[in-house]
Each structure stands twice: as C-alpha cells, then as structure tokens.
Structure 1
Amino acid sequence: MIQILKGKVSLYIIPLLLCIMYVLESYYKVVFFYSGKTTDLLQITKGIVFVGFLAYILKRQAKTLWLTSILFLTFAIGQWALPSIMLKPALIAFIKLIFPLILLIFFSVFELSNKQKVVFFKVFEYIIVFNSVLILVGFLFNVKVFNTYIGSRFGYNGFFLTSATGSYVYSIVLIYLLARYKHTVFKKPTNLIIILSIILIGTKVLYIFLTSFFFVYLWCYSKINRNVLIGSTLGLGLLGLYVFFYKYGIFNEIRQRDGLLSSLMSFRNDLLLEQTIPFIKGNWNVINYLFGGVSDLSTKSQIEFFDIFYFFGILGGILYFYIFFKTFLVFKTEIQISVLLVVLFILILLAGNFFSYTSVAIYIVVLREYFKKSDLSVTKNNGMI
C-alpha cells in the first residue's frame, strides 16, 4: 500500500506543481483586479519551489550546479564593484533570473518516467485549453479580469498575469502543437480554440510568432508554391505593419508622437537610451563591464539581450546564456521546430522579461521534456486532448 501511494505521489507531484502555479497566478490576478491589492502567496510558493528544487539538486548531484555557482560569483563581484549596493532587490532579481536554470537542471537530475510525462503533458494541455476558453469568454462578453492590459488597449489573456507571460507561454504552446500534431494540427477542435485565442491576446510578439507559425506550417505541410508563400507572407506582413503602425490604434498614436522605433519597441529603446546607458556611464568601472551590476532595477531597458548583460556583464552574460542553452538544448528535433525556436529566441532578445518571469519557467520545462521523449508515440495513444 505504501509503495502504491508513493507511486501515485511520484506520478502526480510535478503535474500538481504546474496546476498550483497556474491557480496561484489566477488568484493573484483576480485579487489585484477586484481589490487593487497584491498577495505574497505566489512569490512565497515560488520561493519554496526554488529552495526545494535547489536542495534536491544539492543532495543528488551538486556538481551540476558548478556553473551556476560561478554565475553567482560574477553577480556578487559586479554588485560589490558598484558605488552603492541595493543587496535585497538585486538578490531577488538574481534568483528570478536563475529560476529557469534551476528548474531545467532539476528536471535533468529528476528524470521523469514516460508515465509521468504523459500526465505532465495532459495537465499542460488541459490548462492551456481552459485558459484559451477564458480568453474567448473574455472577448465575447468583455470580461475585464481576463484583459491582457490595464486600460483601453485591446487584448485578453485569461488568467495569465502579464502580457509577457501570455506571449511566451502561447509561443511555447504553438511550438508544442506543431511538434506533436504536425500536418494534423488544425484537425483538432481544441487546437483551433487555442489558435483562435492567440489572435485575441493582442501582443506584438504573439502576432509575429503566429505569422511565423503559419508560414512554417504552410512551407512544410502544404502544396502552395514556395515563392508565392514567401511573397504572400511578406505582403501580409507589410500590410499588417501599415495598418497597425500607420493607420489605426495605439501604435499609430505612439508613432506619430514618439516615432516608429518607440512604437515598435514599446518605448524599450527610450528606456535603454535614457535610463540604462546613463546608469552604466555614471556607475560602472572595468569590473562592472565584465561582471555587470545594477543597484536600481527601474533602469533596466526591458530588452532581454541588453538586460542580461546589464545584470551580469560581458563574462557573466555569456555564461548565463551558455548555461541556459546547455540545459535546454538537450534534444534533437525537426528543422521546422528549430526555425520556430530561433524565431522565438530572437523575439525574446528584442522583448523582455522572459528569463525573469518565473511563471514562464515551468512551461520551458514542458517544451524541453516533450522533445526529450525517447518514444514520441507515448502521448499519441494515452487519451491526450
């Protein structure tokens, strides 16, 4: 009996973690929307998960953390070299940035069985379908709590807390769906619900990635002439740019007032020029250029490529990306999936908050674990959505 219970706990503990993270993010969003108050429950839970996973790694395979330990050392040196140190905010920011690294390392040490993976992916799909239905409900009935943005800007992202979380999670979902269903991706009603909901989220990252998804799908699985496909995609892309940035909506207003680059980058370029670079010029020395250092987190540009090097410096930034790719890219996949992964990473570097939003980390793990499966037929015959 005890062995059976242990088996059940082992089977469902990781999917349960995925559910808990989603439910707590939903709770945070609802509480904030209706009361304007925040709750520490989500952060506390993530902290417990972080400490628990870190302790497990240290107990089972501590040597897998040696590069992360060096990264912490570079962070400490960079902070020490600053004229003034804001230790607590910087340490919290560091933990957020290494959260996805720790999760990826944990799931390399704690190998999921095929049965565990089946349950994991099933729960993941149920959560995404459920959230996609909420997006459609939000759009059809104007349910404000499901809005992507505060204010008048269009978009619905269900219970995902931020626009960045919705953008990155649904980009990961699109890669997952194409990898799993391939040419039949549009034949599943639940997939159509998900893809329709993506159109309603309202972020530039998702519109660009969705276009890339359709292009890759048609390139690989349709009989459309490829020259026609390239021309049509470029034409529709230029038409979309013209409509969004030169004709209607908030991006047109920003372009007219602040310029096209500010509209395209959502003012990230202005933050870089007016906040990040002045801080560097006024506070950094040679050590900081090597190891980074930020005492005022509001000076981040929100451009991921710059912010990683801003926080960790040249050497620390290279090490951070090396650890991420070393722990994430542990699989082989088809060329079309590789293309989408490259597109996503480029968008991540130009946008922001992919690595520092801890809610995204568990979905990175879902994608990696799917591609790590040795038997791709496992999920096709086990009652998945």
Structure 2
Amino acid sequence: MTRLRTVGAGTLLGALVLVGLPVGAWAQPVTDYQMPFPCGQEWKGTTRSGHSPSPRSIDWNRADDDGDPVVASAPGVVTTAEASSTKGYGHHVVLDHGDGESTVYAHLDEVHVVEGQHVDQASQLGTVGSTGNSTGPHLHYEQRLDRKDVEAWFDGAAFVYGSTQRSANCVDVPMAANMIGKPAAELVIYRRAKRSQFLVQRAGKAPKRMRLGTASDEPVLGDWDGNGKANLGVWTPDTGVFTLRVGKKSTSHVPLGSASDQPVAGDWDGDGLWEVGVRTPATGTWRLRGADGSLRSVVLGDAGDIPVTGDWDGDGRTDLGVFDPTTATFTLRREDGDGLVWTAQVQFGQPGDLPVAGDWDGNATTEVGVWTPATATFSERRAASATAARERTAARTFGRPR
C-alpha cells in the first residue's frame, strides 16, 4: 500500500544538502526495497552534487568489491539487460517493480539476466565492475518513480547518504521435497544468509535446519544417492557449479551452465537417481544432464517464466514445467512411453506468487502449488481422486513473510 511518510526540503545527504525541493516530495515507495547486495554484507553508499542523473543516485563500495555479486532489491521484471555498452551506465540492468517504480544497477562487470526475465528478490543480477563512464569498480544504483530518480529507501527507512549499512536482503525461497522418507513431500525453505540454511517443516516439531550455500547461491533438492529421500544442493551463478551433498559430509561438485542460467534437478530417466540441469531463459532451452555426463536439450517456456519440475504422470520420471508469475499459470510438459509430448496449462495462485511442486498426498504423482511472499503461505493444489471428486486446495504457512 502507499505509505505517507515523507522527507522535506533540505534533507541531509551525507555531507550534501539538497535545497529547493518542495516539502513532501520524497514519499516512501510502495516497493519494500532492500540493499542490492547479499544478506549480511556491509557497503558504503555515497553521492555528490554533480552525480548523474541526480544526487539521489548511490555509488556503493567496499574493500576489494570488484566482481562481487549484485542482487535484486525487490522482485521485478528485467526491462533492460545491457551487457556490451562502453558508454554511460556501461553494462547495466533495469528492473520494473510495478506501481511506476524501478531500480537501476550500473557499471556492472557481468550481466546475468535477460530482458523480459522475472527475477525474485535477492536473485543475482550480475557483478560489480567499472564499465561505461566509471573511474573504478563500484555499483551505481538508482531507485526511480515514473523513470525519475527519487530518494532511496531500504528496509522501510530512508537511506542516509554517506553511511555504511548492512544488507537485510535475507529472504526465504520456497521449496518442497520428500526429505525424511515419507510418501508425501515436506515443505522446505531456503533461507538466504551469509551461511544459508534449508529449513524442513515437521509436524509437531521445530523445523529441521541444515546449512549449505551462501546468500547468492540458488537452491536445489534431489535424491542424489537413490535412497528415496531428497538431499541438499546449491548452484553458484558466478562459477556455474552445483554443490550436491549426501548426508552430513559427502559433497560432490558438478559444473554445468553459465551465470545467466537457472538451475533445476530431477530423475530424468526414472532410475531412482536424480541429476541436475539448467534452463537458459533467453531461449527457453533446458539442458538435462545424464548420469554419464551427456546432455539432452528440451525447449519450454520463455524469458519471463520460472522453471518447475515434477513427475506429473506418476511414471517415475521427472517432467518439466514453467510458471508465468504475471498470470499465475503453470505449463506442464510430459512425454509418454511412445515419445509423444503432451502439455497442459493449470492456472493456480495469484500474480506475484512463487511456484512450488510436490507430491502433497503421497500418491507418487507431483502436483503444483504456490507460495505467497506477503503471508509466507503455501497453497497446494490437490487433484481429484477416488475419495475426492473435485480438486482441492490446502494451505499451510511456513517461512518468513516479506
């Protein structure tokens, strides 16, 4: 909702005082912005009177920051992903957050997203660099309203220009998998932090907590050892490497994909052992890795879709799917024993929800679901069955609301 707190003329920006602005010009944004860096990192943000396009822009720095991850301040759609310019902003990304609000991330070394792509809060957009009109590595950052710079806000407070602040961009990522060996899937949260955690919901008990990954890694779950229970995994965008853990100490590393890909996992051949894969948003191309290292390519979805996987037909093999967050529509793909490909569309949830998939009732068939960030509510779609003539929806709350 629109917030009423405003900042009047003559507000102090570090050592700089802006004058001549009308009182009440800087309203708190609708978007709940967080700093454009992974959870827990400390960065200093400065400006100057001649800062282009305005002194409300921020130049972020910390020691040895060249190549550090830059992440999304809030969920949004990529409207600009410029990865070759040598002028002005250089390599830069612009995100549209709705309500006329947007953010700019400039002078990047690498750009990891493409135009039209939907990105979640805290997802990596690229890396700090010094491209374009820049004299040294830093992140040039702007918050905009109707394409004009406005005063920056983070974590519900106006930013004090010239200060050093710690990033509270520490969101939960919703997941689901069979984590403890029971037929039905458990709800899982990947909590982004300097040392990230997977939290598994357990009936009547505190969540089970397991550490793996960092705040800028992307989580995956899969049965890497074929024992019927899902194991932990993360994929690091900067290196394109999966880190897969079995038990408490056994860890393997699988290189696959580039920084602009999206990680996925599944039992592609139905042998009980899960493998990894990646999807390239720009082309909708999935590359599924076999146990022997071979790759199979499938095309599904476009840049704005979010990948999901599951066994939609209960044949023991993981199928592919995508979720359009603007329409809350799943497109599910399956391939039958004769090699024929079938697709179906399922509308579930509301725009802005995040997709999940799991075997909610333990019948060996995966169903879709969504997680609503504002309430941390999982909504699970359960298909009609012999005991339930109509589709049902079950709702459970798990994780931290945003």
Provide TM-score, normalisation by structure 2.
0.23
Provide TM-score, normalisation by structure 1.
0.23
Higher relative contact order (CA 8 A, sep 6+): 1
Bigger fraction of residues in helix: 1
Bigger fraction of residues in strand: 2
